[in-house]
Structure formats: C-alpha cells, structure tokens
Amino acid sequence: MPERFAGVRKQAASSATAQSAFCEKSYPSGGEGARRYAAPPQRPLPGGDDGGSPAGPSGTTWTWVNLWATWCVPCVEELQLLGRWRDGFSRDGAQVRFEFVSIDDAAAEKELGAWRSKGLPGSIRWLRSEPDLGPLLDSFGVARDAMIPIHALVDPSGWLRCVRVGAVHEQDYAAVKAFLAL
C-alpha cells in the first residue's frame, strides 16, 4: 500500500454532510473552467479486459469514475451502496455507468483479479503505475495527497462535472440524483 494512503479512513456521516452539496468540486460543461475527462493510462487486468471502453462521450449516459483500491476499507464498504445507486438511477431514469479505477500497485494483481469475480457494479480499470496517479488527481482538480475513495461524475459529452473526495453515504443519493438531472 502506498505510504501516503496509510491514513485512509472512513469519514462518519453527519447531518451536516447530508445537507451539504455532494460535489466538492464542480465544473461547467464547456467554456471557461471546464475540464474534459481523459481516461488515465491503464495496465492490463489479470485475466484480460473487463469489457467496454473507458469513459468518454456516450450520448445520454453519465459516467461515474471511482478511484479505489482493494485495501481501502471505505472504498470496499461503499461498493454495495454504489450497486444499489446504479440500480436506483436506472429506475429513476438516469443513465449512469460506473468505472472503478484501481490504484493498487503491481503487487496486488492477485487481489485485484479476485475482485473481478465479485460482481462490482461497473467495469474495473487498473491505473498503469503510481506516477500516473498525480496527473489524474490534477485533472480532477484535487490535491495530490487526497485520500481515496474519489468519485468523479463525467457528463454524456465527456466533461468532468463533479468531484468528491471521500466515501459516499446513503443520504447523498438525492443530491446526486438532482445533480444528474442538470
């Protein structure tokens, strides 16, 4: 585990969290201050490709990019919640696909391979190397020492629209749903 993530911890949900906006960083869809999302460099997954192409313009479908790691407790704990949200968004008429970008190092190949069989609510991508993490975090507009999980919402035209650092909580669903209805 990279040393700088040794302090990853789950943040407790609070009523203040529930009332605040979901996005810590918001970006416009074009024009000044806008940011295009570019999929980070990837290494091959154990056992072959996880299917599909990385996030990019996709008609009417939003892409939820989740930076996580197999050793990150809050990352793993929120996976079931994200699966329920994926299903809820679909029922509510919002089209959202999830991409889980693992920042695990090369030594975690076996663990990451095991996660592929657990039925994550989206495709798995594997960041090519630790030096690629800094530029990815820069592209999200977050500090290079930000803790994971990190969530980024990419609109159907490929614009990065929302970034949140830290775990999501059940009470965040309504705020995310409202954001996706923009």
Distance CA 8, CA 29 (A): 31
Residues 45-75 have pLDDT tens digits of: 877 655 455 555 557 899 999 999 999 999 9
User: In this predicted model, what pLDDT tens digit does every residue of 24-53 receive, in sequence order?
Assistant: 999 999 999 999 999 999 999 877 655 455
Q: What is the pLDDT of residue 50?
A: 54
Structural domains in the chain, CATH included, are: 21-30+58-180 (3.40.30.10)
Q: Which residues pair with 96 in a beta bridge?
A: 62
Contact by Cβ (8 Å): 46, 110: yes
Q: Is the pTM of this model over 0.75?
A: yes
Contact 6, 145 (CB under 8 A): no
**pLDDT at residue 181, as a whole number:** 86
How would you write the pLDDT of the chain (182 residues) with one tens digit per residue?
454 444 444 444 433 333 347 999 999 999 999 999 999 999 998 776 554 555 555 578 999 999 999 999 999 999 999 999 999 999 999 999 999 999 999 899 999 888 888 888 999 999 999 999 999 999 999 999 999 999 999 999 999 999 999 999 999 999 999 999 86
Q: How far is it, in rounded angstroms, from Cα 132 to Cα 116?
A: 22
Q: Which residues contact 50 (CB under 8 A, 6 or more apart)?
A: 116, 123, 124, 125
Query: What is the Cα–Cα distance from 94 to 32, expressed in whole angstroms?
Result: 27
Residue 15's pLDDT is what? Answer: 33
Residues 69 and 102: beta-carbon distance below 8 Å: yes
Q: Cα-atom radius of gyration of the chain, to the nearest Å?
A: 15
Burial (Cβ within 10 Å: 0-12, 13-18, ≥19) of residue 17: middle
